[in-house]
Protein backbone atom coordinates (compact mmCIF):
# COMPACT_ATOMS: atom_id res chain seq x y z
CA UNK A 1 0.00 0.00 0.00
CA UNK A 2 2.73 2.44 0.93
CA UNK A 3 4.77 1.37 -2.09
CA UNK A 4 1.83 1.95 -4.43
CA UNK A 5 1.10 5.38 -2.92
CA UNK A 6 4.74 6.46 -3.14
CA UNK A 7 4.97 5.61 -6.82
CA UNK A 8 1.59 6.72 -8.06
CA UNK A 9 0.16 9.40 -5.79
CA UNK A 10 1.43 12.55 -7.50
CA UNK A 11 1.45 11.32 -11.10
CA UNK A 12 -1.96 9.65 -10.89
CA UNK A 13 -3.53 12.62 -9.15
CA UNK A 14 -2.31 15.08 -11.80
CA UNK A 15 -3.46 12.91 -14.70
CA UNK A 16 -6.88 12.44 -13.08
CA UNK A 17 -7.17 16.21 -12.66
CA UNK A 18 -6.45 16.71 -16.39
CA UNK A 19 -9.08 14.14 -17.29
CA UNK A 20 -11.73 15.62 -14.97
CA UNK A 21 -11.17 19.01 -16.59
CA UNK A 22 -11.48 17.43 -20.05
CA UNK A 23 -14.78 15.80 -19.08
CA UNK A 24 -16.05 19.18 -17.92
CA UNK A 25 -15.13 20.82 -21.25
CA UNK A 26 -16.81 18.08 -23.27
CA UNK A 27 -20.13 17.64 -21.51
CA UNK A 28 -21.28 20.84 -19.83
CA UNK A 29 -23.69 23.30 -21.38
CA UNK A 30 -22.96 26.55 -19.58
CA UNK A 31 -20.13 28.61 -21.09
CA UNK A 32 -18.61 29.61 -17.76
CA UNK A 33 -18.48 25.99 -16.62
CA UNK A 34 -16.56 25.06 -19.77
CA UNK A 35 -13.96 27.68 -18.92
CA UNK A 36 -13.73 26.41 -15.33
CA UNK A 37 -12.85 23.01 -16.82
CA UNK A 38 -10.12 24.64 -18.90
CA UNK A 39 -8.62 26.19 -15.76
CA UNK A 40 -8.63 22.80 -14.01
CA UNK A 41 -6.72 21.27 -16.93
CA UNK A 42 -4.11 24.02 -16.58
CA UNK A 43 -3.57 23.29 -12.92
CA UNK A 44 -3.27 19.55 -13.59
CA UNK A 45 -0.59 19.96 -16.26
CA UNK A 46 1.46 22.27 -14.06
CA UNK A 47 1.37 19.85 -11.13
CA UNK A 48 2.46 16.98 -13.39
CA UNK A 49 5.45 18.97 -14.68
CA UNK A 50 6.70 20.00 -11.24
CA UNK A 51 6.36 16.49 -9.82
CA UNK A 52 8.52 15.08 -12.62
CA UNK A 53 11.52 16.93 -11.24
CA UNK A 54 11.46 15.79 -7.65
CA UNK A 55 14.49 14.04 -6.15
CA UNK A 56 14.26 12.08 -2.90
CA UNK A 57 16.17 13.95 -0.21
CA UNK A 58 16.79 16.97 -2.40
CA UNK A 59 16.60 20.52 -1.17
CA UNK A 60 14.96 23.63 -2.61
CA UNK A 61 17.21 25.14 -5.32
CA UNK A 62 18.36 28.28 -3.53
CA UNK A 63 21.83 28.94 -2.09
CA UNK A 64 21.56 30.34 1.45
CA UNK A 65 23.90 30.58 4.40
CA UNK A 66 22.77 27.14 5.60
CA UNK A 67 22.77 25.29 2.26
CA UNK A 68 25.83 27.07 0.99
CA UNK A 69 27.64 24.88 -1.49
CA UNK A 70 26.60 23.76 -4.93
CA UNK A 71 27.66 20.15 -4.40
CA UNK A 72 24.66 19.23 -2.26
CA UNK A 73 21.62 17.44 -3.64
CA UNK A 74 19.09 19.80 -5.22
CA UNK A 75 15.71 19.39 -6.81
CA UNK A 76 15.60 19.92 -10.58
CA UNK A 77 15.14 23.68 -11.25
CA UNK A 78 14.30 23.53 -14.96
CA UNK A 79 10.65 22.33 -14.72
CA UNK A 80 10.03 24.99 -12.07
CA UNK A 81 11.18 27.69 -14.47
CA UNK A 82 8.89 26.39 -17.22
CA UNK A 83 5.87 26.12 -14.90
CA UNK A 84 6.40 29.71 -13.69
CA UNK A 85 5.87 30.90 -17.24
CA UNK A 86 2.93 28.57 -17.84
CA UNK A 87 0.91 29.75 -14.84
CA UNK A 88 1.05 33.41 -15.88
CA UNK A 89 0.16 32.62 -19.48
CA UNK A 90 -2.76 30.51 -18.24
CA UNK A 91 -4.32 33.41 -16.39
CA UNK A 92 -3.89 35.75 -19.39
CA UNK A 93 -5.64 33.30 -21.74
CA UNK A 94 -8.43 32.83 -19.17
CA UNK A 95 -9.05 36.59 -18.97
CA UNK A 96 -9.22 36.85 -22.77
CA UNK A 97 -11.69 33.94 -22.95
CA UNK A 98 -13.93 35.53 -20.32
CA UNK A 99 -14.03 38.85 -22.14
CA UNK A 100 -15.22 37.02 -25.27
CA UNK A 101 -17.91 35.31 -23.12
CA UNK A 102 -19.09 38.77 -22.02
CA UNK A 103 -19.47 39.89 -25.62
CA UNK A 104 -21.34 36.68 -26.56
CA UNK A 105 -23.78 37.32 -23.69
CA UNK A 106 -24.43 40.86 -24.89
CA UNK A 107 -25.43 39.65 -28.31
CA UNK A 108 -27.52 36.58 -27.41
CA UNK A 109 -28.72 37.25 -23.81
CA UNK A 110 -28.06 33.65 -22.82
CA UNK A 111 -25.09 31.51 -21.83
CA UNK A 112 -26.51 28.16 -22.87
CA UNK A 113 -24.59 26.74 -25.82
CA UNK A 114 -27.54 24.78 -27.19
CA UNK A 115 -29.44 28.01 -27.76
CA UNK A 116 -26.68 30.09 -29.34
CA UNK A 117 -26.75 29.89 -33.08
CA UNK A 118 -23.35 28.82 -34.40
CA UNK A 119 -22.26 26.97 -31.25
CA UNK A 120 -24.98 24.37 -31.43
CA UNK A 121 -23.89 20.97 -30.22
CA UNK B 1 4.34 11.80 5.23
CA UNK B 2 3.06 10.14 2.09
CA UNK B 3 -0.29 9.60 3.79
CA UNK B 4 -0.66 13.34 4.29
CA UNK B 5 0.13 13.97 0.62
CA UNK B 6 -2.40 11.32 -0.48
CA UNK B 7 -5.08 12.86 1.71
CA UNK B 8 -4.48 16.27 0.16
CA UNK B 9 -4.57 14.84 -3.37
CA UNK B 10 -7.85 13.03 -2.69
CA UNK B 11 -9.30 16.30 -1.33
CA UNK B 12 -8.14 18.10 -4.48
CA UNK B 13 -9.80 15.53 -6.75
CA UNK B 14 -13.03 15.63 -4.74
CA UNK B 15 -13.30 19.38 -4.99
CA UNK B 16 -12.51 19.24 -8.74
CA UNK B 17 -15.41 16.81 -9.21
CA UNK B 18 -17.60 19.15 -7.15
CA UNK B 19 -16.59 22.07 -9.36
CA UNK B 20 -17.81 20.27 -12.47
CA UNK B 21 -20.99 18.71 -11.18
CA UNK B 22 -22.52 21.41 -8.97
CA UNK B 23 -25.34 23.46 -10.45
CA UNK B 24 -24.90 26.75 -8.67
CA UNK B 25 -22.21 28.67 -10.57
CA UNK B 26 -20.85 30.59 -7.59
CA UNK B 27 -20.21 27.36 -5.66
CA UNK B 28 -18.33 25.81 -8.55
CA UNK B 29 -16.10 28.89 -8.89
CA UNK B 30 -15.20 28.65 -5.19
CA UNK B 31 -14.44 24.93 -5.60
CA UNK B 32 -12.04 25.78 -8.44
CA UNK B 33 -10.32 28.26 -6.11
CA UNK B 34 -9.97 25.48 -3.52
CA UNK B 35 -8.23 23.27 -6.12
CA UNK B 36 -5.71 26.06 -6.75
CA UNK B 37 -5.07 26.50 -3.04
CA UNK B 38 -4.39 22.79 -2.47
CA UNK B 39 -2.14 22.76 -5.54
CA UNK B 40 -0.13 25.64 -4.01
CA UNK B 41 0.32 23.59 -0.81
CA UNK B 42 1.46 20.60 -2.90
CA UNK B 43 4.04 22.73 -4.68
CA UNK B 44 5.45 23.66 -1.28
CA UNK B 45 5.76 19.98 -0.34
CA UNK B 46 7.55 19.32 -3.65
CA UNK B 47 10.23 21.85 -2.59
CA UNK B 48 9.39 24.53 -5.18
CA UNK B 49 8.87 27.86 -3.36
CA UNK B 50 8.77 30.12 -6.45
CA UNK B 51 6.03 28.10 -8.12
CA UNK B 52 4.01 27.91 -4.87
CA UNK B 53 4.09 31.69 -4.46
CA UNK B 54 3.03 32.25 -8.06
CA UNK B 55 0.18 29.74 -7.93
CA UNK B 56 -1.13 31.11 -4.62
CA UNK B 57 -1.12 34.72 -5.81
CA UNK B 58 -2.44 34.14 -9.32
CA UNK B 59 -4.50 30.96 -9.12
CA UNK B 60 -6.29 31.40 -5.85
CA UNK B 61 -6.56 35.18 -5.98
CA UNK B 62 -6.86 36.68 -9.43
CA UNK B 63 -8.58 33.79 -11.23
CA UNK B 64 -11.45 33.61 -8.73
CA UNK B 65 -11.86 37.39 -8.84
CA UNK B 66 -11.97 37.44 -12.66
CA UNK B 67 -14.59 34.67 -12.72
CA UNK B 68 -16.81 36.45 -10.19
CA UNK B 69 -16.61 39.75 -12.09
CA UNK B 70 -17.70 37.96 -15.27
CA UNK B 71 -20.56 36.32 -13.39
CA UNK B 72 -21.75 39.72 -12.22
CA UNK B 73 -21.75 41.17 -15.71
CA UNK B 74 -23.70 38.26 -17.23
CA UNK B 75 -26.57 36.44 -15.59
CA UNK B 76 -26.48 34.75 -12.21
CA UNK B 77 -28.16 31.71 -13.66
CA UNK B 78 -27.64 28.05 -12.90
CA UNK B 79 -26.32 25.31 -15.10
CA UNK B 80 -29.12 23.40 -16.89
CA UNK C 1 -27.51 9.35 -19.11
CA UNK C 2 -27.39 11.05 -22.44
CA UNK C 3 -25.46 9.67 -25.36
CA UNK C 4 -23.01 12.55 -25.29
CA UNK C 5 -21.98 11.82 -21.70
CA UNK C 6 -21.39 8.12 -22.36
CA UNK C 7 -19.31 8.74 -25.49
CA UNK C 8 -17.20 11.32 -23.61
CA UNK C 9 -16.62 8.87 -20.76
CA UNK C 10 -15.46 6.15 -23.17
CA UNK C 11 -13.11 8.62 -24.87
CA UNK C 12 -11.65 9.68 -21.54
CA UNK C 13 -11.02 6.09 -20.38
CA UNK C 14 -9.28 5.43 -23.70
CA UNK C 15 -7.08 8.52 -23.21
CA UNK C 16 -6.34 7.57 -19.58
CA UNK C 17 -4.97 4.20 -20.69
CA UNK C 18 -2.50 5.83 -23.06
CA UNK C 19 -1.43 8.49 -20.55
CA UNK C 20 -0.70 5.91 -17.87
CA UNK C 21 1.28 3.81 -20.37
CA UNK C 22 3.41 6.87 -21.16
CA UNK C 23 4.47 7.07 -17.52
CA UNK C 24 6.59 3.93 -17.98
CA UNK C 25 9.17 6.00 -19.84
CA UNK C 26 10.12 8.18 -16.90
CA UNK C 27 12.00 6.91 -13.85
CA UNK C 28 9.85 6.57 -10.75
CA UNK C 29 8.71 9.37 -8.52
CA UNK C 30 11.73 10.83 -6.74
CA UNK C 31 14.30 8.72 -8.56
CA UNK C 32 15.27 11.33 -11.12
CA UNK C 33 18.99 11.33 -11.82
CA UNK C 34 20.11 14.95 -12.03
CA UNK C 35 23.53 14.04 -13.44
CA UNK C 36 22.00 12.96 -16.75
CA UNK C 37 19.95 16.10 -17.29
CA UNK C 38 21.03 19.59 -18.34
CA UNK C 39 20.02 20.87 -14.90
CA UNK C 40 23.38 19.78 -13.55
CA UNK C 41 25.08 22.41 -15.71
CA UNK C 42 22.68 25.08 -14.48
CA UNK C 43 23.25 24.13 -10.83
CA UNK C 44 27.04 24.07 -11.10
CA UNK C 45 27.06 27.14 -13.37
CA UNK C 46 29.47 25.58 -15.85
CA UNK C 47 27.67 25.85 -19.20
CA UNK C 48 30.49 27.77 -20.85
CA UNK C 49 33.29 27.61 -18.30
CA UNK C 50 35.16 25.11 -16.19
CA UNK C 51 33.45 23.37 -13.29
CA UNK C 52 34.31 24.65 -9.86
CA UNK C 53 32.48 24.69 -6.56
CA UNK C 54 30.14 27.62 -5.96
CA UNK C 55 29.91 28.75 -2.36
CA UNK C 56 27.53 31.30 -0.88
CA UNK C 57 29.19 34.68 -0.05
CA UNK C 58 32.54 33.54 -1.38
CA UNK C 59 32.56 32.92 -5.14
CA UNK C 60 33.54 36.02 -7.11
CA UNK C 61 32.25 36.59 -10.63
CA UNK C 62 30.75 33.21 -11.49
CA UNK C 63 28.99 32.64 -14.77
CA UNK C 64 25.56 33.67 -13.53
CA UNK C 65 25.63 35.40 -10.21
CA UNK C 66 22.28 34.88 -8.54
CA UNK C 67 21.84 32.68 -5.49
CA UNK C 68 18.35 31.63 -6.60
CA UNK C 69 18.84 28.99 -9.28
CA UNK C 70 15.35 29.29 -10.77
CA UNK C 71 15.94 33.02 -11.30
CA UNK C 72 19.22 32.36 -13.07
CA UNK C 73 17.48 29.86 -15.36
CA UNK C 74 14.54 32.15 -16.14
CA UNK C 75 16.37 35.45 -16.62
CA UNK C 76 19.90 34.51 -17.64
CA UNK C 77 20.14 31.14 -19.32
CA UNK C 78 16.69 31.12 -20.92
CA UNK C 79 15.84 34.79 -21.06
CA UNK C 80 14.55 34.59 -24.62
CA UNK C 81 11.61 32.47 -23.43
CA UNK C 82 10.85 35.13 -20.83
CA UNK C 83 10.78 37.72 -23.58
CA UNK C 84 8.26 35.55 -25.44
CA UNK C 85 6.09 35.25 -22.36
CA UNK C 86 6.12 39.02 -21.78
CA UNK C 87 4.98 39.41 -25.38
CA UNK C 88 2.08 36.98 -24.89
CA UNK C 89 0.92 38.88 -21.80
CA UNK C 90 1.10 42.15 -23.69
CA UNK C 91 -0.97 40.77 -26.56
CA UNK C 92 -3.61 39.41 -24.15
CA UNK C 93 -3.91 42.72 -22.29
CA UNK C 94 -4.17 44.69 -25.53
CA UNK C 95 -6.75 42.25 -26.87
CA UNK C 96 -8.92 42.63 -23.80
CA UNK C 97 -8.74 46.40 -24.07
CA UNK C 98 -9.74 46.21 -27.72
CA UNK C 99 -12.63 43.74 -27.29
CA UNK C 100 -14.25 45.55 -24.37
CA UNK C 101 -14.09 49.03 -25.87
CA UNK C 102 -17.11 51.30 -25.61
CA UNK C 103 -17.64 54.70 -27.13
CA UNK C 104 -20.08 55.94 -24.49
CA UNK C 105 -19.28 54.84 -20.95
CA UNK C 106 -22.11 53.19 -19.07
CA UNK C 107 -23.47 55.15 -16.17
CA UNK C 108 -24.48 52.18 -14.02
CA UNK C 109 -21.65 51.06 -11.78
CA UNK C 110 -20.96 47.55 -10.52
CA UNK C 111 -22.03 47.96 -6.91
CA UNK C 112 -24.79 49.98 -5.30
CA UNK C 113 -22.92 51.21 -2.24
CA UNK C 114 -19.52 51.15 -0.63
CA UNK C 115 -18.26 48.17 1.29
CA UNK C 116 -18.76 47.87 5.04
CA UNK C 117 -16.82 50.04 7.48
CA UNK C 118 -14.32 47.31 8.37
CA UNK C 119 -13.48 46.69 4.73
CA UNK C 120 -12.98 50.37 3.86
CA UNK C 121 -10.78 51.07 6.89
CA UNK C 122 -8.77 47.89 6.38
CA UNK C 123 -8.12 48.67 2.71
CA UNK C 124 -6.90 52.16 3.56
CA UNK C 125 -4.23 50.59 5.78
CA UNK C 126 -3.43 47.61 3.59
CA UNK C 127 -3.04 49.28 0.20
CA UNK C 128 0.40 50.92 0.71
CA UNK C 129 1.63 47.88 2.66
CA UNK C 130 0.71 45.57 -0.22
CA UNK C 131 2.50 47.80 -2.70
CA UNK C 132 5.57 47.71 -0.47
CA UNK C 133 5.44 43.91 -0.18
CA UNK C 134 5.17 43.51 -3.95
CA UNK C 135 8.12 45.82 -4.53
CA UNK C 136 10.23 43.95 -1.96
CA UNK C 137 9.44 40.63 -3.63
CA UNK C 138 10.59 41.68 -7.08
CA UNK C 139 13.61 43.70 -6.00
CA UNK C 140 15.07 40.72 -4.09
CA UNK C 141 14.37 38.21 -6.83
CA UNK C 142 17.96 37.06 -7.09
CA UNK C 143 18.40 36.24 -3.40
CA UNK C 144 15.13 34.85 -2.06
CA UNK C 145 12.21 32.99 -3.67
CA UNK C 146 10.24 35.50 -5.68
CA UNK C 147 10.83 37.63 -8.70
CA UNK C 148 8.97 39.77 -11.18
CA UNK C 149 5.88 37.68 -11.76
CA UNK C 150 5.05 37.09 -8.11
CA UNK C 151 5.62 40.76 -7.21
CA UNK C 152 3.45 41.91 -10.13
CA UNK C 153 0.62 39.61 -9.04
CA UNK C 154 0.73 40.98 -5.47
CA UNK C 155 0.57 44.56 -6.80
CA UNK C 156 -2.45 43.69 -8.96
CA UNK C 157 -4.14 42.18 -5.89
CA UNK C 158 -3.72 45.53 -4.12
CA UNK C 159 -5.64 47.27 -6.91
CA UNK C 160 -8.30 44.56 -6.84
CA UNK C 161 -8.87 45.32 -3.14
CA UNK C 162 -9.46 48.97 -3.98
CA UNK C 163 -12.05 47.93 -6.58
CA UNK C 164 -13.86 45.88 -3.97
CA UNK C 165 -13.98 48.60 -1.34
CA UNK C 166 -15.07 51.73 -3.15
CA UNK C 167 -18.18 52.14 -5.22
CA UNK C 168 -16.91 53.87 -8.33
CA UNK C 169 -13.14 53.59 -8.21
CA UNK C 170 -11.61 54.26 -11.59
CA UNK C 171 -8.07 53.72 -12.80
CA UNK C 172 -6.31 56.06 -15.16
CA UNK C 173 -5.61 53.61 -17.96
CA UNK C 174 -3.28 55.87 -19.93
CA UNK C 175 -0.74 56.12 -17.11
CA UNK C 176 -0.66 52.35 -16.70
CA UNK C 177 -0.15 51.81 -20.40
CA UNK C 178 2.74 54.27 -20.28
CA UNK C 179 4.44 52.38 -17.43
CA UNK C 180 3.94 49.11 -19.28
CA UNK C 181 5.43 50.49 -22.47
CA UNK C 182 8.50 51.93 -20.75
CA UNK C 183 9.15 48.63 -18.95
CA UNK C 184 8.93 46.66 -22.18
CA UNK C 185 11.31 49.04 -23.95
CA UNK C 186 13.77 48.67 -21.03
CA UNK C 187 13.81 44.89 -21.39
CA UNK C 188 14.41 44.92 -25.14
CA UNK C 189 16.87 47.80 -24.82
CA UNK C 190 19.03 45.83 -22.36
CA UNK C 191 19.08 42.99 -24.85
CA UNK C 192 20.20 45.27 -27.65
CA UNK C 193 22.96 46.77 -25.49
CA UNK C 194 24.16 43.23 -24.84
CA UNK C 195 24.13 42.60 -28.59
CA UNK C 196 26.12 45.76 -29.26
CA UNK C 197 28.82 45.27 -26.61
CA UNK C 198 29.29 41.53 -26.33
CA UNK C 199 27.93 40.07 -29.52
CA UNK C 200 24.89 38.10 -28.26
CA UNK C 201 21.33 39.28 -27.65
CA UNK C 202 20.51 39.57 -23.91
CA UNK C 203 24.08 38.76 -22.83
CA UNK C 204 25.08 39.84 -19.34
CA UNK C 205 27.37 42.85 -19.77
CA UNK C 206 27.84 43.97 -16.15
CA UNK C 207 30.12 42.45 -13.55
CA UNK C 208 28.61 39.59 -11.56
CA UNK C 209 29.98 40.34 -8.11
CA UNK C 210 29.89 38.04 -5.11
CA UNK C 211 27.04 35.52 -4.87
CA UNK C 212 24.68 36.51 -2.10
CA UNK C 213 25.22 40.22 -1.78
CA UNK C 214 22.55 42.73 -2.72
CA UNK C 215 24.32 44.38 -5.64
CA UNK C 216 25.29 41.30 -7.58
CA UNK C 217 24.49 39.27 -10.67
CA UNK C 218 24.71 41.85 -13.43
CA UNK C 219 21.53 42.78 -15.24
CA UNK C 220 19.24 40.24 -13.51
CA UNK C 221 17.80 42.68 -10.91
CA UNK C 222 17.23 45.34 -13.56
CA UNK C 223 15.32 42.94 -15.79
CA UNK C 224 13.25 41.70 -12.88
CA UNK C 225 12.33 45.26 -11.83
CA UNK C 226 11.15 45.96 -15.38
CA UNK C 227 9.15 42.71 -15.49
CA UNK C 228 7.62 43.43 -12.07
CA UNK C 229 6.32 46.84 -13.13
CA UNK C 230 5.10 45.47 -16.43
CA UNK C 231 3.17 42.50 -15.05
CA UNK C 232 1.65 44.56 -12.23
CA UNK C 233 0.44 47.28 -14.59
CA UNK C 234 -0.92 44.73 -17.06
CA UNK C 235 -2.92 42.68 -14.56
CA UNK C 236 -4.34 45.81 -12.93
CA UNK C 237 -5.33 47.10 -16.38
CA UNK C 238 -7.03 43.77 -17.19
CA UNK C 239 -9.10 43.94 -14.00
CA UNK C 240 -10.01 47.58 -14.64
CA UNK C 241 -11.19 46.76 -18.18
CA UNK C 242 -13.29 43.82 -16.98
CA UNK C 243 -14.98 45.83 -14.22
CA UNK C 244 -15.79 48.83 -16.33
CA UNK C 245 -17.11 47.06 -19.41
∠ at Cα C130 (C126, C131), nearest 5°? 125
Question: Per-residue pLDDT for C116 more than 70?
Answer: yes
Q: Say what the ipTM of the complex is.
A: 0.93
- Note the pTM of the prediction, 2 decimals: 0.91
B chain contacts of residue C146, beta-carbon cutoff 8 Å: 50, 53
Question: Are C136 and C87 contained in the same domain?
Answer: yes
Say if residue C161 is in the same domain as residue C224: yes
Both C128 and C46 in a single domain?
yes
Of the candidates A54, A88, A96, the beta carbon closest to that of C95 is on A96
Q: What is the pLDDT of residue A121?
A: 60
Q: Out of B29, B59, B77, whose CB is closest to A36?
A: B29
Confidence of residue C104 (pLDDT cuts 50, 70, 90): confident
Which chain A residues have a beta carbon less than 8 Å from that of B41? none
Q: How does pLDDT run across C15-45, given as a tens digit for each residue?
A: 999 998 988 888 888 888 888 888 888 888 8
CB contact under 8 A, C145 and B69: no
pLDDT by residue (tens digit) across C177-231? 999 999 999 999 999 999 998 888 888 888 888 888 888 888 899 999 999 999 9
Backbone angles phi, psi at C201, to 5 degrees: -65, 135
Q: Is the pLDDT of residue C114 over 70?
A: yes
Query: What mean pLDDT is predicted for residues C144-150?
Result: 91
Q: What is the pLDDT of residue C108?
A: 63
Interatomic CA distance for residues A105 and B26, integer angstroms = 18
Tens-place pLDDT, residues A79-89: 999 999 999 99
pLDDT of residue C48 exceeding 70, the answer is yes
A9: which chain B residues are within 8 Å (Cβ-Cβ)?
2, 5-6, 9
Instruction: Return the pLDDT at C200.
Output: 86
How many A-C residue pairs are in contact by the CB < 8 A criterion?
A: 151
C242–B66: do the CB atoms touch at under 8 Å? Answer: yes
The CA distance from B63 to the nearest CA of chain C, in Å, is: 11
Among C residues 150-209, those touching chain A with beta carbons less than 8 Å apart: none
Mean pLDDT across chain C: 88
**Residues 6 or more apart whose Cβ sits within 8 Å of residue C159:** C171, C236, C239, C240
Q: Say whether pLDDT at B78 is over 80.
A: no
Chain A residues touching B19 at Cβ < 8 A: 24, 36, 40
Q: What percent of chain C has pLDDT over 90?
A: 47
Chains that touch B (3 or more CB pairs under 8 A): A, C
- SS3 of A8-29: the string is HHHHHHHHHHHHHHHHHHHHCC
> Do C15 and C80 belong together in one domain?
no
> What average pLDDT score do residues B11-20 get?
95
**Closest residue, chain A, to C96 (C-alpha):** A96
Q: Are residues C124 and C23 in the same domain?
A: no
Which residues in chain A touch residue C9, judged by CB atoms under 8 angstroms apart? 23
CB contact under 8 A, B32 and A29: no
pLDDT (average), residues A2-29 = 91
Rounded Cα gap, residues A23 and C84, in angstroms? 31
Give a yes or no: residue B11 inside a domain: yes
| Rounded alpha-carbon distances, angstroms, from residue C205 to A25, A40, B46 | 48, 42, 35
Q: Which of B12, B3, C154, B4 is nearest to A43 (CA)?
A: B12
Report, as an integer, the average pLDDT of C99-106: 79
Q: Which of A4, A15, A23, A27 to mutate to test the interface with C (most CBs of C within 10 A)?
A: A27
Is residue C77 domain-shared with residue C168, that is, in the same domain?
yes
Domain count, chain A: 1
Q: Which pLDDT does position C84 carry in this prediction?
A: 94
The answer as to whether A121 is a domain residue is no
User: Both C148 and C230 in a single domain?
Assistant: yes
Give the pLDDT confidence score for residue A115 in this predicted structure: 83
- pLDDT at position B26 is 92
pLDDT for residue C107 is more than 80: no
Q: What is the pLDDT of residue C59?
A: 78
Domain range for B57: 2-73
Looking at the complex, report in whole angstroms how far the Cα of residue C62 sits from the nearest Cα belonging to chain A. 12
Name the residue among B53, B58, B72 with its Cβ closest to that of C146: B53
Residue A114 domain flag: no
In which domain, by residue range, is C160 found? 42-244
Assess whether C54 and C122 both reside in one domain: yes
Greater confidence (A67 vs B42) lies with B42
pLDDT for A25 beyond 90 = yes
- CATH at A6: 1.10.287.3510
Q: Do C147 and B50 touch (CB under 8 A)?
A: yes
User: Residue A119 domain-assigned?
Assistant: no
**Strand, helix or coil at B32?**
helix
Model pLDDT, residue B4: 92
CA-based nearest distance C150→chain B, Å: 5
Q: Count up the domains in chain B and report the number.
A: 1
Q: Given a cut of 70, is residue A120 above it in pLDDT? A: no
Confidence band for A112, pLDDT divided at 50, 70 and 90: confident
- What local confidence, expressed as pLDDT, does residue B80 receive? 63
C123 and C235 belong to one structural domain: yes
Same domain for C139 and C21, yes or no, is no
d(CA A38, CA C183): 31
Domain span at residue A6 reads 2-108
CA of C12: which chain A residue's CA is closest?
A19
Evaluate whether C75 touches C225 at the Cβ level (below 8 Å).
no
C69 part of contact set with chain A, CB < 8 Å: yes
Please indicate whether, in this complex, the C-beta atoms of C153 and B70 are within 8 angstroms of each other. no
Q: With contact defined as beta carbons under 8 Å apart, do B42 and A14 qualify? A: no
Q: Is C222 on the interface with B (CB under 8 A)?
A: no
Residues of C in contact with B61 (CB under 8 A): 153, 157, 160
Q: Which H helix or E strand runs over A35? A: helix A31-51
Amino acid sequence: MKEFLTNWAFFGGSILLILIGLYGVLTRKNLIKIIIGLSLMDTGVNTLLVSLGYVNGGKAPILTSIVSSSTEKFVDPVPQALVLTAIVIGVAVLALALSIVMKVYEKNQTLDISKIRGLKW
Amino acid sequence: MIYLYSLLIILMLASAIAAIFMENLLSSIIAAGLVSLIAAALYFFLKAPDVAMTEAAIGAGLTTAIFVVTLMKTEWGDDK
Amino acid sequence: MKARNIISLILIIFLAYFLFQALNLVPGFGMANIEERTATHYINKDVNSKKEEIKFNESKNPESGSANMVTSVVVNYRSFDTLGEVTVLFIAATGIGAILFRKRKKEKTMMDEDGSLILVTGVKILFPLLLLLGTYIFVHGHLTPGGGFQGGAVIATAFLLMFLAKKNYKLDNSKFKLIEGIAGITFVGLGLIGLATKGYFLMNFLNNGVIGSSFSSGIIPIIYIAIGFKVGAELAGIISNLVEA
